[in-house]
Structure 1
Amino acid sequence: MIMYVRFNSSHGFPLEVEEGASVAELMEAVGRLRGAQPDQLRVIFAGRELHSDATLQACDLPEQSTVHVVLAPPTLVLQRTLRGSMDSLTRLDLSASRLPATSIGLAAVLEGDAPAAEDTPTRTELKPHSSFYVFCKTVCRAIQPGKLRVRCIACKQGTLTLSRGPSCWDDVLLPGRIHGVCQAQGCDGRTAEFYLKCAAHPTCEEDTSVALDLIMPNVRRVPCIACTDVLSPVLVSQCAQRHVICLDCFHLYCVTRLDERQFIHDPAVGYSLPCAAGCPDSLIKDVHHFRVLGDEQYERYQRYAAEECLLKMGGVLCPAPGCGAGLLPEQDQRRIQCERRVGLGCGFVFCRDCMEEYHEGECRRRTAMPAGGAPQGYVLDEGAALRARWEQASLETIDETTRPCPKCRVPVEKNGGCMHMVCPRAQCKFEWCWLCRMEWNRDCMGNHWFG
């Protein structure tokens, strides 16, 4: 497999290594090419220093990944404690921080008598990837799975080792929340800068993508609010019910509302839409999510947004067919001319009151819109809306798989194994039976061990 190596923040060079190679073998190969001792090298990827005895596969280094290799001076103190304490940025799940679930804070389960084995850097059994989604604005021009990366905010190099990993989306999106130590020579940077890249193709350092924090894998298998199918990925609204909609139905919802010009102009958010069920206080706050429309429809969305902003400012749009230029006349000006300018304007003169060709005297009466207002082309089934609740799926799962410790009452989740439970709370460690919820005893051992 081909890796790209940036040695002491220099320009990257390709390096071919075996598929199952270890980090130590990578260090030896770089040392031979750069005339350095392997034990003096440090390999940094995605905000952490990699174990020398870990495999590249276990460190989530796919084909054509870029790693930073630094020659650490003797006086430089590296944050080795991070090696075993921080999850890889490729395996973070930040969905709960955007969509707070009742399950936050659930204690882990210790099943059986044997203590849980410690994670070792050479493990090859990887826990399931958590996914970020981005809009790739260069190659794909589409919504794609993303990968989270970090760099030093001072030198813009990926040589920063983090003091801790991000625990919520605000840690990723807001600057200055997480710090670390930059290992690049001559840089004393201490602040982390996170960014996302498209995971669908190899990327360079400057090829960043826009984070779409409401789009996530449908790990709870919640049916779509519109088509009722269980699909993935989905967009989860920030309304109180956390309604779920698949991306195809979200695209249809956006196009329908765009055709009806039913988007809402919010001074703080911009031109946006609420939850498809019409829930209050559910406007999508990052309008990049409307990139799901595709280039042509998104261009129309931007044009409508600009027009809506102009109208909110007291402006008007030229009513001449094929024109639609935005104009900002005086407040009490009735006669308006669409002035010809470079590439804009048509010269049409019209009445501000009736938007017809300019005339003296009163305007002709226009036919009133029939009762019922604007057409509503996107209608949802109430039953589907009840089933498509992200939080409800979580509550049902919690009800089936969690019970409070009989002694300290902390919620404990069971995901398999025998009925012998040990409270994971360090101050408790109470041993109890999952079935009878009593202290573990001989009767439980004989009758309830396997249910």
Structure 2
Amino acid sequence: MKEECQICFELLPRHLFLQVTADCNHELDVCKLCVDKHIQAQLESKGNIEICCPSSGCKKELQHRDIKRIASKQAFERYDKLMLTQTLSKLPEFRWCKNSRCGAGQINFEGDASPIMTCESCGQKYCYTHDVPWHKGLTCSEYNNRKLGEDKATKSLLERETKSCPKCGVRITKNGGCDHMTCTVKHCKYEFCWLCFADYNEIRRNGNKSHRRTCKLYA
């Protein structure tokens, strides 16, 4: 006896249809090959381990045992690796190696009390507290102070060299030229005076009296 798969529409032997999860209560209407392809697509395109039954209207999530039972060996190994990665990433004591070519990671149970971590795979040293490559020559406290200084310098530079668009708030830079500015954000394109932020549509309609009185362009 043959059944039609609701995904590939092939007429296939009944034994190729299976209950996807223990919680599924619908007809066995998707073949094993299509379920396997569905699992692979979710893993490859989204890196998603929360995979639901592909049967129309069914939202039951496949468990580890379901993936192992249905998926190909390659797909299951991919799923297992993603599950391990996501589980480790949720552990507060776990840190990934900061060597971009490594991909290993480890747990530091001593935490901030022992911030220098050395990757057991490649030997890269990195900081547990700040989750960055080890700041050689600086304690964590000194690194904090330097980072704070850099952040303040960046903020000061932004305030000195850029201004926020009065409409969308995105900071933009003026590279010479006149004081008639147009926001560079595609969906905004607001036109304003760089000196006093006056709306340039108002200036076009009413002339320079639309500038603020404190603006040198006011007339």
Q: Same fold (TM over 0.5)?
A: no
Structure 1 or 2: more helix by fraction: 2
Q: Highest relative contact order (Cα 8 Å, sep 6+), 1 or 2?
A: 1
TM-score, normalised to structure 2's length? 0.45
Structure 1 or 2: more strand by fraction: 1
